[in-house]
Structure 1
Amino acid sequence: MQFKNPEVLYFLALLIIPIIIHLFQLQKFVKVPFTNVAFLKKLVQQTRKSSRIKKCLILATRMLLFTAILFAFSQPYFSDKTTEEKQHTFIYLDNSLSTNATGEKGNLLQIAAQEIIENASKKDLYSLQTNTNFSSDITFEELKKTLLNIKNTAQKVDLSTVLLKINNSNKTKTNTLHKNILISDFQITYNSEFTNVTPVFSGIKLEATKKNNISIGSVFINNTNTENLTINILIKNQGEAKDNIPIAIFNNEKLISKQSFSIDKNSTKTILFTIQNQAKFLGKITLTFSDTFSFDNTFYFSLNSTKKVNVLSIGNNADFLSKIYTKDEFNFTESTTQNVNYNSIPKQQIVLLNELENIPESLSKSLLDFSKKGGTIVIIPNSKIELQSYNLFLNSVANTKIQSKISDTLKITNINFNHPLFKNVFSKKVTNFQYPIVKSHYPIQAKNSSKIISFENNTGFISQINNTNGNIFWVSSSLSKENSNFLNSPLIVPVFYNFGKLSFQHSKLFYYLDAENVIDVETEIEKDEILSIVNSNSSFIPPQQTYQNKVTITTNDNPTDAGFYYIIRKKDTLQTIAFNNPKEESLLQFLDINTLKDINPEINFSSSIEDFFINLNNKNEVHWLWKWFLALAIVSLLLEILILKFYKP
């Protein structure tokens, strides 16, 4: 039992006063001489004894009356919390795409939101974390308003982030009882490690009734000619085999082709469509099938007329460059140092300095301006370079210095597979390839550089010098046949091909939501101009960086819905891009809650949201007792009245 006003109980000490008065009462019996009759003497004794009993009863009822009144004013109650403490409930409600499935009661997300509204206490404070927003210390009405408007999103939040917010939220609140509840399907896309020190929480697992799913995983083109394109559609099936599933391809809203297919249990399959080759195609692929998820039955892609990358090689003629930078993808130009057209440099995306003995001052100034405006520079030194000329240029463009030439035969052995230059080049890490060699090289001394390919002594053969604007790549050795056999290595093609491709990020067939996407738009805009991305339902201004002949756009949190979007300059459409929902959301793989219980026994899972809140509300309910003590006081007063009226000693 707890008391709201415990200080009132100090007045119980005053109850000693009537007890003292009773024990040391001033009234005394007076002896009156009477006839010495035995009967009368006995009657006097009985009257004195009855009078004492009556007074004790009256004292007891009055003591009980005052005690009950004092207890009533102290306001006693039963509860798991004190009346001064507040109840704060932290709720994480997973509104990822995977919760847009059907459970026993209906849509998982909508039913969960409705049950929270119906069962949560209207008196408590709440913090609500979703995949898109965090609302701290809100009332029930604010919680209700947010839940009524909640929608599924492609954005993800790591459960470790949620647990960190729980910790931070609890630390900032004093005199508060905390309860944490995580409502999710606990899909394994959430990369969280639970330990025995994980903050204690109650979990509720949302489960769909269907346990199979078919989805469109990806789209790619692997066969093109002047007339037709072959569209390859990768289909993934999770669950039992399925037959006669309709699939169709649209150009925007116009149906182009339709077919049906069958797929084996837990397998993948590629479906082919042949369409007419055209400069612009807004592709939409749809599957007609009812399963666990519906958001992955539609896939968007866009074909834009891709502009070629402008490549300028300055220096010695190199046959290998013209073979790599072919006419179908690149505008490749070669020039000697004496014949360089300096007016053409700003129009390039990438400039290669191929084995120059020195870098003239006029060329150095043009390349410095080119780099500041986002251009890519690849430097291949000559075996006999003028060190001072190179250092003047590299120091001005990237605060970098070349060290003296080292004449030592070294093998090229290490590849940085995580570098963007080798993205999608290798299906697995290769360690047993035939190592190329160099006989001499020029190491660099740079404050901020990363090695792409390294020698056996772990020094850099090809390095990227990190610059605030454009990319600068340093090849530390001459590639002439007299100095190296790197030109005969299978690495030569992907390295220089991707030098060209990375210099300008053409739009891809499609992009995924909730991922960082970098898109280069070839356009020249004025100083205060910006590009925007729009569709029929929304528009936003993405982060962007303006260069001389392009604008680099980055998307991450926006857009939020799959579909076609248009990159707009004023009222002109510069490019069309397609966004799709993350493919990880289609996985039917979820965390085992029994494993979580084994890791941390204090983590518990409730059977339903309703049971959780009923249990929480019952624990926090205050059972007031002052009414019972007031009733006891009234009863004591009535007893005293009855004793005074009917008890005659």
Structure 2
Amino acid sequence: MNFYQPQAFWLLSLLIVPIIIHLFQFRRYKKLLFSNVAFLKKVDEEKKQNRKLKHLLILLSRLLFLTFFIICLAQPFLDREEKFADVSLGIIDNSASNLTIPEGNSNTVLEDHMDIVNKLSERYSDLQIKVIDATGNDVQAFEIPEVNSSLTSFNLKELMSTQKISKQLILFSDFQKNVIDDNMDLLRDTTVDIVLVPVHKEVPKTVVWDSIWIKNQSGLATNDKLMINVYSRSGKLGTDISIIENDQYVGNSAVELNESINSLNFSLPIQSTDLDRSLVLKTDEQSSIYDNEFFISLSQQKALKTLYLFNKNPNDYIKSLFSGNELFDYQQSNIANYSFQALEQYDFLVAELGGTLSSQSLMLLRQFAQQGGTLVLIPSEDFVDLNELEKFGVIDAKRRNIDEKVELSNPDFNNPFFNNVFKNKEELIDMPVAKPLINWRQGNNLLSFKDGSPFLSVVESNIYLFSTELTEAYTDFPKTAIFLPVFYKMAFSNQGESSVHYHYLDEELVDLSYMRISNGVIIKLANNGKALIPDQREKGSGKEIIIPKGELEPGFYNVLNAKTDSIYGHLALNYPKEESKEGFYTIAELNTLFSDQPNVKVINEPGFDKLNEYITESKEGFPLWKYFLILALLSLLAEVLIIRFYK
């Protein structure tokens, strides 16, 4: 035990005062005994012994009071084995999760930690505490560092090595579990003193947006339901989830979230516009800023560019499907006179294969499908070179010699092709009859004859092949109820199962193929008056961009032609999903985790006071004066009790 004010021990000379008082108050007197009270002598002797003991106890309590009080004035302290270093590295975790708000607080974790850093710089000007953020950038006092929206983890050892400070680290963080788990090798290194400054006494209320998609697309370019999978990382959490578009509420649902996935659905009003719809999913939970919103872009179904190449005369049934329909941008042409180099501008192509079709034309049709277009092939009676069908993946195509029409079997409703085609799958369907022209061995039959031979097959993912002409001479298929839904399903089959698009800021590449950006076009991203041109590369007939780390914030970005500023769509960017999925270590859990490591100090109370107390004690030792003051007061209390109750 050491003393800051050892000169106070001169005051111990005052201990003579209570001794003098004791001796003066109880000096001897001459005693005279009278015969009539002699019988009381024995009783008086007993009382005198009691009074003597009482006075001695009073003297002892006074001496103890003065002794303890003087020691208190000398400011005793115990030296600590661990010392707070004069040179330290402070690291502020500026990942998005530090925008949570600790319980009973109005500031975010990041703001509270920066407040501690500011007070440290004011209180300990003699210490060299270098403060950086989790990306290695210097943090200046009284300037809150910017949140790195794409940051989900960081390496403490690397950050310390870049600053050439290897002995003491002060970590200001919300202590998501990956922060500790990813850096356990450093935290277990007993040569490094580490001070952890946490904030959470309880697990913060965070929301995880798991997945969003459109359910029950009808094939008619309408969106029935927006489905949302969401859950909570903090147990039960009652909240409202809303959908907002252009600052207007589209839908709202009250829900109690838990750690298992909750599925919600919202009906969306249909809008007749070619532009993407930008929707914000929002929870009313206010304890976190970084995960209570989620941005999605909903692609509106554009008119499908459709081309019908007929052999001799256009089929009125096929023409009626597409012409005069706002869902389709429809063109038709005689296949014998068409310039096949113009196919790339179309999305959906129905081609009747005639006898005059050249091998080169068939190759260009094949190339159209390879570039992502949907191709429907219908053989005409005069199409004789069946070997050419091998270009489309058709194996062993042969002509069939059947003079009578044969009934088709009912569809296999388990085939994904028929999802959302028929509302009532148990309803009996009047199946068409047909006289097949050709047969083949390979393909996924969508509609078959009773003998199992194909009427309509998917020979490749986006190539469909009929086995006969769709004329009255060969089939009544165009007059049946399944004609329109089957053709519409083929037309929209390559447009994707879901038109919901969203991306995360930690993604390396973002595929923008769904925006149909032509090859060679340079795009830029624009948001709130700011624009940048990201690194980009071609991907087939689409485009991919590289998200610049730490430069973008969550929200909507217009995807523009860098030269003409024409807009292709909206890019919805969100905080990394992993940042929301990670759990948190509370103060109690950190204490348990590092209970056997003297090199790791966990500050047990949020705020500056406890950290300041730890630094003071580390530099100046553990103060004992308060304990001696308590002992002095207890001695004074003992004197009062002795005087009052000792008889």
TM-score bin (small chain): 0.3 to 0.5
TM-score, with length taken from structure 2: 0.48
TM-score, with length taken from structure 1: 0.48
Whose strand proportion is higher, 1 or 2? 1
